[in-house]
Amino acid sequence: MQGDVMDRQSVLAEVERKVREIPGVVDMKFLDPDLKEQIVAREMQAEKNGACGGLMPFVNKGVWEALAREVSFIIIGNTHLLVDNQGLLYMMDQDKQVIGEYVTPEQRKEILEHTPDAQFLSEDFLMHPEVEISGEPYFLIDEIDFGYISDVPGISRVTSGSVSTLSDDFVRNALGYTGPRQWTHLVGFDIRT
């Protein structure tokens, strides 16, 4: 039993070491039960409130998947922290068809080169008007790959997500990071036994 505890502790220490070395990481904290409960409550409230000022429902799959892992932690990052947001946000219908999606500036440029009449809801949100919508649309905030720690021995199923503004504000205040240009990101993983 003592060996298992040491193994777990060494895995967590290695994850923390690697995360703190990522350019742009200001701080990180493993979620204890209380902090996790606070984030869950705020994420449930955010989904209840809806997106677009309450006009459209949304599901934050990335956050729920990260919270469902054995270990979850929150990162405080600054403008230098790079997280691949490709595939982050989708507008879906009830048949799980993609009717719109977030695109990076590079993707937008490529899309417009090949399809000059592509329809954008905003600078970074591409619509798919050819999709016949089934039921009420909703936003899906998907899981985000977090490759920074994927090679740490002893962990598996690494995933991450972008927390709601409610959780972001709460966590930054709780950890003392209220300044501008700082934001949070939630990561989860399992420890292999």
Spatial CB neighbours of 188, under 8 Å, sequence gap ≥ 6: 65, 66, 67, 68, 69, 70, 71, 72, 73, 157, 158, 159, 160
Q: Is the pLDDT of residue 21 over 50?
A: yes
Whether the predicted pLDDT of 137 surpasses 80 = yes
Kindly report the pTM of this predicted structure: 0.82
Strand partners for 71: 189
d(Cα 192, Cα 188) in Å, to the nearest integer? 13
How many alpha carbons lie under 13 Å from residue 166 in its C-beta half-sphere? 16
Distance, CA of 55 to CA of 20 (rounded, Å): 38
| DSSP strand pairing (182-191 vs 71-78) | antiparallel
Domain positions in the chain:
2-97+133-191
Please determine, looking at this structure, whether the domain spanning 2-97+133-191 carries the CATH number 3.40.109: yes
pLDDT of 6 higher than 70? no
The answer, yes or no, to whether residue 124 has pLDDT greater than 60, is yes
Given this model, what pLDDT does residue 183 score?
85
